[in-house]
Amino acid sequence: MISDDLDQLKKTAATEAAQFIRNGMVVGLGTGSTAKHMIRALGEKVRAGMTLRGVPTSQETAALAKQAGIPLLEADNRWEIDVAIDGADQVDPQFNLIKGGGGALLKEKIVASSAKQFIVVVDHTKQVPILGGSFPLPIEVIPFGWGSTAREIESLTKSRVVLRERNGGPFLTEAGHFIVDVHLDRITQPGELETALNLIPGVVETGLFVGRTDVLIIGTPQGVRTVHAPRK
Protein backbone atom coordinates (compact mmCIF):
# COMPACT_ATOMS: atom_id res chain seq x y z
CA MET A 1 0.00 0.00 0.00
CA ILE A 2 1.14 3.54 -0.77
CA SER A 3 0.48 4.73 2.80
CA ASP A 4 2.64 1.92 4.17
CA ASP A 5 5.42 2.82 1.75
CA LEU A 6 5.29 6.48 2.82
CA ASP A 7 5.33 5.50 6.46
CA GLN A 8 8.46 3.46 5.86
CA LEU A 9 10.08 6.48 4.18
CA LYS A 10 9.17 8.59 7.22
CA LYS A 11 10.64 5.97 9.54
CA THR A 12 13.90 5.81 7.60
CA ALA A 13 14.24 9.61 7.54
CA ALA A 14 13.34 9.94 11.23
CA THR A 15 15.95 7.34 12.16
CA GLU A 16 18.51 9.36 10.22
CA ALA A 17 17.48 12.52 12.13
CA ALA A 18 18.10 10.74 15.43
CA GLN A 19 21.77 10.43 14.43
CA PHE A 20 22.13 14.18 15.03
CA ILE A 21 21.51 13.68 18.76
CA ARG A 22 24.52 13.45 21.06
CA ASN A 23 24.89 12.41 24.67
CA GLY A 24 23.66 15.00 27.17
CA MET A 25 21.50 16.95 24.71
CA VAL A 26 18.11 18.51 25.38
CA VAL A 27 15.88 17.59 22.45
CA GLY A 28 12.67 19.22 21.26
CA LEU A 29 10.24 16.43 20.36
CA GLY A 30 7.78 17.17 17.57
CA THR A 31 4.24 15.89 17.10
CA GLY A 32 2.81 13.69 14.36
CA SER A 33 3.41 10.47 12.48
CA THR A 34 7.03 11.25 11.57
CA ALA A 35 7.85 12.39 15.11
CA LYS A 36 6.60 9.06 16.48
CA HIS A 37 9.30 7.22 14.55
CA MET A 38 11.92 9.71 15.76
CA ILE A 39 10.85 9.27 19.40
CA ARG A 40 11.12 5.49 19.10
CA ALA A 41 14.61 5.84 17.60
CA LEU A 42 15.68 8.10 20.46
CA GLY A 43 14.21 5.65 22.95
CA GLU A 44 16.51 2.98 21.55
CA LYS A 45 19.48 5.31 22.10
CA VAL A 46 18.41 5.89 25.72
CA ARG A 47 18.11 2.15 26.32
CA ALA A 48 21.61 1.78 24.86
CA GLY A 49 22.96 4.18 27.49
CA MET A 50 22.64 7.64 25.98
CA THR A 51 21.66 10.46 28.34
CA LEU A 52 19.22 13.00 26.94
CA ARG A 53 16.15 14.96 28.00
CA GLY A 54 13.14 15.88 25.93
CA VAL A 55 10.77 18.82 25.57
CA PRO A 56 7.49 17.52 24.09
CA THR A 57 5.24 19.62 21.86
CA SER A 58 2.01 17.85 22.81
CA GLN A 59 0.49 15.55 25.40
CA GLU A 60 0.53 12.77 22.81
CA THR A 61 4.27 13.25 22.29
CA ALA A 62 4.88 13.37 26.05
CA ALA A 63 3.10 10.03 26.48
CA LEU A 64 5.09 8.43 23.64
CA ALA A 65 8.36 9.77 25.04
CA LYS A 66 7.61 8.38 28.50
CA GLN A 67 6.80 4.99 26.96
CA ALA A 68 10.15 5.14 25.14
CA GLY A 69 11.97 5.92 28.38
CA ILE A 70 12.96 9.49 27.46
CA PRO A 71 13.13 11.79 30.53
CA LEU A 72 11.16 15.01 30.03
CA LEU A 73 11.72 18.56 31.22
CA GLU A 74 8.84 20.38 32.87
CA ALA A 75 6.78 22.67 30.65
CA ASP A 76 7.52 25.76 32.76
CA ASN A 77 11.29 25.34 32.59
CA ARG A 78 13.50 27.90 30.89
CA TRP A 79 14.83 25.46 28.32
CA GLU A 80 18.17 25.36 26.60
CA ILE A 81 17.19 23.12 23.68
CA ASP A 82 20.08 21.82 21.61
CA VAL A 83 18.11 20.27 18.75
CA ALA A 84 14.40 20.17 17.90
CA ILE A 85 13.17 17.55 15.44
CA ASP A 86 9.72 17.72 13.85
CA GLY A 87 7.79 16.93 10.70
CA ALA A 88 5.94 19.26 8.33
CA ASP A 89 2.83 19.24 6.19
CA GLN A 90 4.53 21.15 3.35
CA VAL A 91 8.04 22.41 2.66
CA ASP A 92 9.06 24.75 -0.17
CA PRO A 93 12.47 25.08 -1.87
CA GLN A 94 13.48 27.81 0.60
CA PHE A 95 12.80 25.41 3.53
CA ASN A 96 9.72 27.38 4.62
CA LEU A 97 7.02 25.19 6.13
CA ILE A 98 3.33 24.77 6.72
CA LYS A 99 2.71 22.94 9.99
CA GLY A 100 -0.29 22.43 12.23
CA GLY A 101 -2.21 19.61 10.60
CA GLY A 102 -2.17 17.85 13.96
CA GLY A 103 -3.16 20.98 15.88
CA ALA A 104 0.08 21.42 17.87
CA LEU A 105 1.51 24.35 15.90
CA LEU A 106 1.80 26.76 18.86
CA LYS A 107 3.91 24.47 21.02
CA GLU A 108 5.83 23.30 17.97
CA LYS A 109 6.80 26.85 17.06
CA ILE A 110 7.78 27.73 20.64
CA VAL A 111 10.06 24.70 20.79
CA ALA A 112 11.50 25.27 17.31
CA SER A 113 12.29 28.89 18.09
CA SER A 114 13.95 27.88 21.38
CA ALA A 115 16.28 25.36 19.74
CA LYS A 116 19.82 25.99 18.58
CA GLN A 117 19.14 23.73 15.60
CA PHE A 118 15.79 22.83 14.02
CA ILE A 119 15.68 19.63 11.98
CA VAL A 120 12.65 18.92 9.79
CA VAL A 121 11.88 15.38 8.65
CA VAL A 122 9.49 14.67 5.76
CA ASP A 123 8.76 12.16 3.07
CA HIS A 124 9.19 13.38 -0.51
CA THR A 125 5.47 14.02 -1.03
CA LYS A 126 5.62 16.95 1.38
CA GLN A 127 7.94 18.91 -0.92
CA VAL A 128 6.09 21.51 -3.00
CA PRO A 129 7.27 24.23 -5.38
CA ILE A 130 5.18 26.79 -3.47
CA LEU A 131 3.27 26.62 -0.18
CA GLY A 132 -0.51 26.41 -0.22
CA GLY A 133 -2.78 24.73 -2.73
CA SER A 134 -3.07 21.10 -1.64
CA PHE A 135 -2.82 21.88 2.10
CA PRO A 136 -4.60 24.66 4.02
CA LEU A 137 -2.75 27.03 6.35
CA PRO A 138 -3.74 26.42 10.00
CA ILE A 139 -4.07 29.47 12.23
CA GLU A 140 -4.63 29.22 15.98
CA VAL A 141 -7.11 31.80 17.28
CA ILE A 142 -8.72 32.51 20.63
CA PRO A 143 -12.37 31.42 20.88
CA PHE A 144 -13.63 34.89 21.88
CA GLY A 145 -14.76 36.64 18.71
CA TRP A 146 -13.24 33.98 16.49
CA GLY A 147 -15.77 34.72 13.76
CA SER A 148 -14.61 38.33 13.56
CA THR A 149 -10.99 37.17 13.57
CA ALA A 150 -11.79 34.79 10.73
CA ARG A 151 -13.42 37.64 8.78
CA GLU A 152 -10.24 39.71 9.17
CA ILE A 153 -8.19 36.76 7.92
CA GLU A 154 -10.50 36.35 4.94
CA SER A 155 -10.19 40.04 4.14
CA LEU A 156 -6.40 39.90 4.29
CA THR A 157 -5.91 36.68 2.35
CA LYS A 158 -8.92 36.82 0.00
CA SER A 159 -9.34 33.12 0.78
CA ARG A 160 -11.83 30.74 2.33
CA VAL A 161 -11.44 30.29 6.11
CA VAL A 162 -12.92 27.18 7.75
CA LEU A 163 -13.24 26.47 11.47
CA ARG A 164 -11.64 23.10 12.23
CA GLU A 165 -14.09 20.75 13.93
CA ARG A 166 -13.93 17.47 15.79
CA ASN A 167 -16.73 15.29 17.15
CA GLY A 168 -19.38 17.79 16.15
CA GLY A 169 -17.79 20.82 17.78
CA PRO A 170 -14.80 23.13 17.35
CA PHE A 171 -11.39 21.46 17.54
CA LEU A 172 -9.68 22.62 20.74
CA THR A 173 -5.92 22.93 20.99
CA GLU A 174 -4.15 21.96 24.20
CA ALA A 175 -4.10 25.67 25.08
CA GLY A 176 -7.88 25.84 24.70
CA HIS A 177 -7.86 27.74 21.40
CA PHE A 178 -9.60 27.16 18.07
CA ILE A 179 -7.92 26.50 14.72
CA VAL A 180 -9.12 27.94 11.45
CA ASP A 181 -7.81 26.48 8.20
CA VAL A 182 -7.15 28.98 5.42
CA HIS A 183 -7.43 27.65 1.88
CA LEU A 184 -4.87 29.58 -0.14
CA ASP A 185 -3.98 28.66 -3.71
CA ARG A 186 -0.44 30.03 -3.44
CA ILE A 187 1.63 31.61 -0.68
CA THR A 188 4.15 33.63 -2.63
CA GLN A 189 5.46 35.70 0.29
CA PRO A 190 5.23 33.49 3.39
CA GLY A 191 7.29 35.82 5.60
CA GLU A 192 5.15 38.84 4.82
CA LEU A 193 1.96 36.82 5.26
CA GLU A 194 3.10 35.45 8.63
CA THR A 195 3.80 38.98 9.89
CA ALA A 196 0.50 40.36 8.63
CA LEU A 197 -1.56 37.52 10.11
CA ASN A 198 0.08 37.90 13.52
CA LEU A 199 -1.02 41.54 13.59
CA ILE A 200 -4.71 40.55 13.52
CA PRO A 201 -6.24 40.69 17.03
CA GLY A 202 -7.31 37.23 18.10
CA VAL A 203 -4.63 35.40 16.14
CA VAL A 204 -2.42 33.41 18.52
CA GLU A 205 0.00 31.91 15.99
CA THR A 206 0.16 30.72 12.39
CA GLY A 207 1.31 27.44 10.90
CA LEU A 208 3.87 29.24 8.74
CA PHE A 209 7.42 28.41 9.82
CA VAL A 210 9.56 30.86 7.86
CA GLY A 211 13.35 30.87 7.97
CA ARG A 212 13.51 28.45 10.90
CA THR A 213 14.66 25.19 9.31
CA ASP A 214 18.37 24.38 9.63
CA VAL A 215 18.40 20.83 8.26
CA LEU A 216 15.86 19.09 6.01
CA ILE A 217 15.85 15.29 5.97
CA ILE A 218 13.77 13.78 3.17
CA GLY A 219 12.72 10.17 2.83
CA THR A 220 12.55 9.23 -0.86
CA PRO A 221 12.15 5.92 -2.74
CA GLN A 222 15.83 6.31 -3.71
CA GLY A 223 16.95 6.74 -0.09
CA VAL A 224 17.33 9.50 2.51
CA ARG A 225 18.51 12.95 1.44
CA THR A 226 19.88 15.39 4.02
CA VAL A 227 20.05 19.05 2.99
CA HIS A 228 21.44 21.90 5.08
CA ALA A 229 19.80 25.31 4.78
CA PRO A 230 21.95 28.18 3.52
CA ARG A 231 23.60 30.13 6.32
CA LYS A 232 21.11 32.51 7.93
State the DSSP code for 125. G
Active site members: 108
Residue pair 127/223 in contact (Cβ under 8 Å)? The answer is no
Name 179's bridge partners.
140
**Contact partners, residue 144, CB within 8 Å, separation at least 6:** 202
End-to-end Cα separation, the chain, in angstroms:
40
**Contact partners, residue 194, CB within 8 Å, separation at least 6:** 206, 208, 210
CA–CA distance from 4 to each of 10, 195, 198 (Å)?
A: 10, 38, 37
96-126 burial code (b ≥16 CB/10 A, e <16)? bbbbbbbbbbbbbbbbbebbebbbbbbbeeb
d(CA 48, CA 36): 19
**Contact partners, residue 109, CB within 8 Å, separation at least 6:** 99, 205, 209
Residue pair 45/54 in contact (Cβ under 8 Å)? The answer is no
